[in-house]
Amino acid sequence: MRKLSMDELNRKTIAEFIDAKKFPISVILENIRSAYNVGSVFRTADSFLIESMIITGYTATPPHKEIKKTALGAEDSVQWKYMKDTSEAIGFFRAQNYRVFAVEQASESLSLEQFNFGENEKISFIFGNEVSGVDEKTISLCDGCIEIPQFGVKHSLNVSVAAGIVLWQAVSSYILKLSANKI
Amino acid sequence: MRKLSMDELNRKTIAEFIDAKKFPISVILENIRSAYNVGSVFRTADSFLIESMIITGYTATPPHKEIKKTALGAEDSVQWKYMKDTSEAIGFFRAQNYRVFAVEQASESLSLEQFNFGENEKISFIFGNEVSGVDEKTISLCDGCIEIPQFGVKHSLNVSVAAGIVLWQAVSSYILKLSANKI
């Protein structure tokens, strides 16, 4: 085994990224306090070829020094918009036939390992504030909650780590269905 | 749907965490530059009830102000040791019948969505430096490389996000096998 060189990674140019067919997955970031976390989600969204991202509430938007520091340029490849109200973002994705899920520890939530892509499904995931989570009002507008099961003393993950985990679950579910010709 | 209260989360005390049966998963952190990343991996390792963590090379160890800031107390629940050489950490886990995998973009790597727990399997994952990745020498000592497939302009994830993704894949594979009575 040997590490791949930069040339072997087949990295896309920004133009190629924008043109590429994306995974049918989008993200809403609601009232995220740390711009570093926003940048880190951009970086993950780029890696996983996510369709688009909507930034809501008081979440910082590019151009922003701290976002740039953790996004490492992914704020230029990933398509994003700002909308003040999360309800507007939910409406925007619903109009494109996305189902919308809040990522939250909630009653009647679906445990993440049970999440699988359905045929022709498009999913939008909402990640909320680092301390208070997704707003109750936002949750009431969603198709459901998805929960990352947790077993420790904290029951709390960094929001950019949680986004990485949920986006990976969705992308990997999609890849497995694609490779089994089920999509 | 409503968010769960703190009381409903069934969070363990540190004593309960230490006594709890863990997932048969361990972590090696090799030459991680940012102590914030180390703290974030502690937080994830706590959430996912990881067996233990070995910190190697110049990676910062607790007690450390920046680790504390992102670990939020998880540095007191997760069992960890420091060893200078990663080879020693690999030997330590091998002696306990762990298979050891580097998380790296490498030739002949296993793509993460293909990773599943085998019966009675114990796995240790090595995460390397933010810029240069896992050392080539370390890779040569491993049972293999596991790669998070990436599709964007960067082909690079934050190391604490990568650790969250890989640990989730392992934990969720274990949970699914447990629930199907295959473990």
Averages of pLDDT over runs of 10 residues in chain B (183 residues) are 85 88 96 98 97 98 97 96 98 97 94 89 97 96 96 91 98 91 72
Which residue in B12, B136, B168 is closest to A168 by CB distance? B168
The minimum CA-CA distance between B145 and chain A, rounded to whole Å, is 8
Task: Say whether A46 and B113 touch across the interface (CB within 8 A).
Answer: no
The minimum CA-CA distance between A17 and chain B, rounded to whole Å, is 6
SS3 B13: coil
Q: Does the A18-179 domain belong in CATH 3.40.640.10?
A: no
Give tens-digit pLDDT for A48-105: 999 999 999 999 999 999 999 999 999 999 999 999 999 999 999 999 999 999 999 9
Closest CA in chain A for residue B144: A1
The minimum CA-CA distance between A96 and chain B, rounded to whole Å, is 23
Residue A99 burial (C-beta neighbours within 10 Å; 0-12, 13-18, 19+): middle
Mean pLDDT in residue range A100-111: 94
Give kind and range of the element (H or E) at residue A87. Answer: helix A86-94
Which residue in B104, B142, B164 is closest to A3 by CB distance? B104
CB pairs under 8 A between A and B: 196
Task: Say whether A153 and B13 touch across the interface (CB within 8 A).
Answer: yes
The ipTM assigned to this model is 0.96
Please give the angle made by the CA atoms of B3, B9 and B13, to the nearest 5 degrees: 155
A interface test, pick of B8, B76, B100, B165 with most A CB neighbours within 10 Å:
B165
**Contact residues, chain A, for B11 at CB < 8 Å:** 152-155
Task: Say whether A73 and B153 touch across the interface (CB within 8 A).
Answer: yes
SS3 B35: helix
**Contact residues, chain B, for A151 at CB < 8 Å:** 12, 20, 47-49
Report domain extents, chain A. Answer: 18-179
A interface test, pick of B14, B116, B146, B161 with most A CB neighbours within 10 Å:
B161
- pLDDT of A119 reads 80
Give tens-digit pLDDT for A2-28: 898 888 888 899 988 888 899 999 999
**Contact residues, chain A, for B148 at CB < 8 Å:** 47, 168
Residue B107 burial (C-beta neighbours within 10 Å; 0-12, 13-18, 19+): exposed
Q: What is the CA radius of gyration of chain A?
A: 16
Euclidean distance between CA atoms A59 and A57, whole angstroms: 6
pTM to 2 decimal places: 0.96
- pLDDT of A178 reads 85
Closest CA in chain B for residue A173: B113
Which residue in A4, A139, A163 is closest to B1 by CB distance? A139
* Confidence at A183, pLDDT banded by 50, 70, 90: low
Task: Say whether A154 and B43 touch across the interface (CB within 8 A).
Answer: yes
* Angle (deg, nearest 10), helices A159-179 and B159-179: 60
Q: Does the B20-148+156-179 domain belong in CATH 3.40.1280.10?
A: yes
Nearest to B70 by CA among B33, B45, B34, B37: B37
- Look up residue A43 and give its two tokens: 């970086």
Task: Say whether B151 and A47 touch across the interface (CB within 8 A).
Answer: yes
> In the predicted model, is pLDDT for residue A117 greater than 90?
no
Within 10 Å of residue A129's Cβ, how many Cβ atoms? 18
Give tens-digit pLDDT for A137-146: 999 999 999 9
More confident residue, A34 or B5: A34
